[in-house]
Structure 1
Amino acid sequence: MTKQREVVYEPHPVTIERKRELLASGYKILDARFDPARQEETAEDGESSKHRGSKPADGDHLSSARARYLKVFGKRPFNGWDLETLNAKFAEATQEETATNGLTRRQISADLEAMQVEFDVNDGIEDLAALRDLAREERNK
């Protein structure tokens, strides 16, 4: 019959000195991420164990971009697209937006740039159209 050793949960990587010390004391070493007490703490915080450490740093942004894609386009995005690709898809879609005056965002932006009017590309298309109309009126005076 094998003797069961007491388990110690240590954050990995464990130094050689610490490993020797624990093994000499008769402990079995396991990674701290498998500690049941730690998993209970994170479950209380609302974080599930399956999502911890498995996402890239921009995972939250990627999931929100996917949700936005679903809302804007009415279909789910390709699962292999990264955040940069999704942002490019949004930029492409907003370029083809049409204002009430019949001009696209691309046409309005080009006209404003030609008149050397400073504007924020993130403004709504109707705001840009109004700015374009004002700039044309000022120019024609």
Structure 2
Amino acid sequence: MTKERQIAYVKHPVSAEKKKELVAKGFKIIDARFKPKDAEEIESEVEKIELGTDSGAGLSDDQLRAAITEATGKAPHHKLGREKLVEAFNALNAEAAGE
């Protein structure tokens, strides 16, 4: 007899922190695009980035890179310019806010 695990359908990529949290709770992680219509919602993957700002223009490049990495689980390319970093940060905040 095998142990059945609940499935968490989560938007990928999943951050390492989120993956660790869900696995610790006993969930098997599957990309949200494969979620059947009748499956239950476990929890939302998108969370507001908490740095006290809605715009990345006032943050350093290192802060932007850290926030993007934390939110997506993937580090931005090391040659990505400031303009693109701010754009990515603002897009993540807009997505998290449901805009």
RCO comparison, higher one (Cα < 8 Å, 6+) = 2
TM-score between the two structures when normalised by the length of structure 2: 0.38
Higher helix proportion: 1
Q: TM-score, normalised by structure 1?
A: 0.27
Return the index of the structure with the highest Cα Rg.
1
